[in-house]
Every structure is written in C-alpha cells, then in structure tokens.
Structure 1
Amino acid sequence: MGLFRRNPFGHILFLKKWLIRIFGIITHKRYRGFNELKIDGSEIIRALPDRNVLFISNHQTYFADVVAMFHVFNASLKGRADNIKNIGYIWQPKLNIYYVAASETMREGLLPRILAYAGAITVERTWRAKGKDIQREVNLNDTENIKVALSDGWVITFPQGTTKSFKPVRKGTAHIIKQHKPIVVPIVIDGFRRAFDKKGLRIKKKNILQSMVIKEPLQIDYDNESIDEIVEKIEIAIEQHSSFLKVVSAEEINEKEELNKLRHWRKNY
C-alpha cells in the first residue's frame, strides 16, 4: 500500500490505519476490561464479501456502538470466535468500513472530527437539527456518498436515526436497499446505554455485560418488495418493531430483574 494512497473520499489510508490502531488500543478495555462484550454471530462476518454490505442496527450511544463494531468486525476477520481477545487483530484493520453519522454530531468538537476520518459518512438529518424538529429535503450528495461507500466496502447505519428505543425506522434506509441491493446484515446491541453516557465517550458504569448479536443477512426481494415492507422487515430484524412492545406482567418484570443482575459482569481475580 502506497504511503499516500487514498480511499474514494480522499482520506489517506495510512493515516486512517493508524487512527484505527490508536483508538482501538485506547478503547479495547471498554469492551474487555471495565466492561465485557458478549458476541454472537462472528462467523457471519467472516462469510461476507468485501464490498456492498450494509449493517443495520439499533442505536444506544453516538460513538460506543460503532467503535464496538469496528472491534468485533476486525476480530472476526482475524479468526476470533465471538470474542475480541488479543488486541493484535487491530494491527491490520479492514480499512473499507464506513458508518453513517449525522453531520451535526461529527462537528461537535475535535474528537468527533478525528473519529470522522476513521470512516464517517456524514449526512444532514432531514427531520431534526439543533434539538428541534424540522422538515428538510434529502441532500443528494449524502445518498451518493453512501453509494460510493457501499461500492468500496461495508457500511454501518442506524436506521432509526436516534439513540431512543422503538422510534420508527427512516424510509431512507429502505430506499438505499432497493436502489443499491446490498447484503443487509442486522445487528442487535444491548448494555451500551447502561455502560456509557449518551455520546458513548465517558464510561458511566463499570462491570456491565454488553451484548452484540449479528444475525443472518435479510432475505429481500429488491425489485418487488415495497419501501414499507422493507422498513417493517428492518424494524423486526433489529428488534425495534412495535410487536416487541407488550404489557409486561409482574412475574415477567421479576424475571427481567433477575436477568439484569446476571448481566452484570464480575471480573474473576
């Protein structure tokens, strides 16, 4: 690889590699040390092609979620079976991993700007800006950038566009799927909201068992399924569909509390 070789967005790959290495080393203990990350489905990652893969996931923090995915994807590609043991996997990271993030978020401070160089595809949200609800036309440059990223590699997106649970999936993701026909891999995460602050930069609580479940790619009829059908399929796949909401009995609440106790990871000394 040439020292000044660039990706389609003009980022120097040598610099991007070192950014991923440095941040990978700095953040590793957030998922295997202060807290513990339980992974299921790493074999699915290893079976994917190098390009035109779209990961869809629920969202709990601005940055901790996607950083964890960078760890899991690279560890899986280096042969780790559902774990991120031995940080050596980050030395030769996959450089064509991108993630979709709000432009407003990535402009808030120096650290987000640095993280953006590691692979952010920034988009202008059409429904919210500066904490207020708005209505804005889709920026065609944003969708074009996602197309370029899919042509070059893997793209991570959080189709609800918010860290709040059970918010509707934005139809833009379904349009991207119909237009570019990527392999769509659902991911369901949990525990990140309890472990980190909203931005995912500060550790809020230690000894939390986080989880990441990587599911089999969705079966989608790109030509015949409607946008609404694909949206519903996404909501079900990332477990954010209204059917997952129900009236919970007292017995189920008690069972959930016991499960939450078990989810607290205790390090063995």
Structure 2
Amino acid sequence: MPLFKRNPFGHILFIKKWLIRILGVVSHGRYRSFNNLQIEGSEILRQLPDNNVLFISNHQTYFADVAAMLHVFNAALKGRDDTIKNVGYIWNPKLNIYYVAAGETMRSGLLPKIFAYTGSISIERTWRSGGQDVKRQVKMSDISNISKALDDGWVITFPQGTTTPFKPIRRGTAHIIKTYNPIVIPIVIDGFRRSFDKKGLRIKKRNVLQSMVIKEPLEIDYENESVADIVTKIEYAIEQHPSFLKVISPEEYAKQEAELNKKREFWNL
C-alpha cells in the first residue's frame, strides 16, 4: 500500500491503520478481560461483499459499541468464529469500515477527534444539538458522505440516533436504504450500558457479560416497500419495537435487567 494513499474522505490509510492497531490493542481487554463479549453470527460477516453493506444496531454508549464492532468484524474476517481471542487480527484491519456519528460528539475533544480518523462519518443531527431539541434541514453533504462510504465499504449506523432504549427510529436511515439499496445487516447488542459510562470510555462495572448478535440480512423490497415499512422492519430487527416492552411494565423491565446483570457476573459464579 502506498505510504500516503488516502480513502475517499482524505484520511491517510497508513495513519488510519496504525490508529486502529493501537486503539485495538488498548481496548481489547475491555471485551476480553474486564468483561466478556459473547458473539453470535460472525460467520455472516465473511459472506458479505466488500462494499455497500449497512449495519444497523441499537445503541448503548457513544464509543464502546463501535469499538466492539471493529474488533468483531476484523476477528471474523480473519477466520475467528464468535470470538475476539488473540488480538493479532487487528494488525491488518479492514480499512473501509465507517460509522455514522454526531459531528458535535466527534469534535468534543482530542480523543474523539482521534476516533473520528478511524472511520467516522460525522453528521449534523437534525433533531438535537448541544443538549437541546432542534429542528433543522438535513445537510445534503451528510447524505453524500454516507453514499461515498457505502460505495467504498461497510457502514455502521445507529438508526435511533440516541443511546436511550426504545426511542423511535429516525426515518433518514430508511431513506438511505431505499435510495442506495445496501445489504442491511441488523446487530443487537447488550451489556455495554452496564459495563461503561455513557461515552463508553470509562469502565463502570466489571465482570459483565456483553453480547453482540449479528443477524442475517434483512429482506427488503427496495422498490415497493415504503419508508414506514422499512422503519418498522428496522425496529423489529434491532429489537427496539415498542411491542418488546408491552409484555411487562418499565418498572418490571428495570428490575429484570438488574437481576440479569447479577447473573451475568460470570467470574462470580
């Protein structure tokens, strides 16, 4: 690879590779030592094409979710089945993986700016800014950048646009799916909210079993399904449809989550 070869966003791939290597080694223990990451479906990743793949997931922390996915994706592509054991897989990472993130988050300090260089597609949220609710037009440059990333590789997005569970799906994700017809891979994660602080930088609780389930591609009729239809499919696929909460009250849900967290302290069993 030429030393100064760049990706479509102008990032020098040599620098990006070394940042991923360093951050990968530093963060590995957060999913293997301090806590344990249980993975399902990594074989699905090896069947995907090199580009025009959109991953949709629920969201629990700003940074730890994406970091875990980068570990899982690269480990799977190096032949590991549902494990990130032996961090050597990060030495030659897949460099055309991108993730959609709020621009204000990625500009909030030196560390987020470093993270951004590893693959962030920074967008301006149309509904939230500086902790306040806002209403503003979608920037066409943001849509263009997502298109550019899909043309080049894989894109991770969190269609709820927030780490708060069971919030509505943002329709922009469905519009992107209808417009660019990517292969859509749902991912459901759990345990990250209990393991880390909201930013996903500080370990809040150890000995928590984190989980990541990678599902088969969504079946989508790109021509005939409406945006509303796709939104509903996304809600069910990432297990954030309101019906998942109807069987129990929010109070009972919180109680069961606390009890589950105790059971997941696997080192204390």
TM-score of the aligned structures, taking structure 2 as reference length:
0.96
Give the Cα–Cα distance (whole angstroms) in 2 for the partners of residues 169 and 2 of structure 1: 41
**Conserved in 1, the CA contact under 8 Å of 2:98 and 2:149?**
yes
Secondary structure of 2:225's counterpart equals: coil
Give the Cα–Cα distance (whole angstroms) in 1 for the partners of residues 223 and 87 of structure 2: 42
**Conserved in 2, the CA contact under 8 Å of 1:44 and 1:215?**
yes
How many equivalent pairs are there?
A: 268
Give the Cα–Cα distance (whole angstroms) in 2 for the partners of residues 61 and 156 of structure 1: 14
Shift of 1:259: 3.8
- Residues 103-252 of structure 1 mapped to structure 2, 5 A cutoff: 103-248=103-248
Give the Cα–Cα distance (whole angstroms) in 2 for the partners of residues 205 and 164 of structure 1: 19
Change (3 A) 1:98 1:188: same
**Conserved in 2, the CA contact under 8 Å of 1:35 and 1:265?**
no
Paired residue for 1:100? 100
Secondary structure of 1:155's counterpart equals: strand
Counterpart amino acid of residue 191 in structure 1: G
Give the Cα–Cα distance (whole angstroms) in 1 for the partners of residues 240 and 87 of structure 2: 32
- Residues 41-60 of structure 1 mapped to structure 2, 5 A cutoff: 41-60=41-60
Give runs of ≥4 in structure 1 deviating > 2 Å. 247-262
Change (3 A) 1:26 1:243: same
Give the Cα–Cα distance (whole angstroms) in 2 for the partners of residues 112 and 150 of structure 1: 22
Give the Cα–Cα distance (whole angstroms) in 2 for the partners of residues 159 and 211 of structure 1: 19
Secondary structure of 1:233's counterpart equals: helix
Change (3 A) 1:253 1:161: closer
Give the Cα–Cα distance (whole angstroms) in 1 for the partners of residues 38 and 176 of structure 2: 30
Q: Percent identity?
A: 71
Secondary structure of 1:266's counterpart equals: helix
Secondary structure of 1:54's counterpart equals: strand
Counterpart amino acid of residue 215 in structure 1: K
For structure 1, the 5+ residue unaligned runs are none
RMSD: 1.7
Paired residue for 1:9? 9
Give the Cα–Cα distance (whole angstroms) in 2 for the partners of residues 255 and 245 of structure 1: 12
Paired residue for 1:262? 263
**Conserved in 2, the CA contact under 8 Å of 1:58 and 1:188?**
yes
The alignment status of 1:38 with 2:34, answered yes or no, reads no
Give the Cα–Cα distance (whole angstroms) in 1 for the partners of residues 238 and 38 of structure 2: 17
For structure 2, the 5+ residue unaligned runs are none
Secondary structure of 2:234's counterpart equals: helix
Deviations 1:187-245 (A, max 9, x none): 00000000000000001111110000000000000000000000000010000001101
Shift of 1:264: 1.5
Give the Cα–Cα distance (whole angstroms) in 1 for the partners of residues 148 and 255 of structure 2: 48
Change (3 A) 1:252 1:8: closer
Give the Cα–Cα distance (whole angstroms) in 1 for the partners of residues 202 and 226 of structure 2: 41
Counterpart amino acid of residue 221 in structure 1: D
Counterpart amino acid of residue 224 in structure 1: N
Paired residue for 1:71? 71
**Conserved in 1, the CA contact under 8 Å of 2:208 and 2:261?**
no
TM-score of the aligned structures, taking structure 1 as reference length:
0.96
Shift of 1:248: 2.5
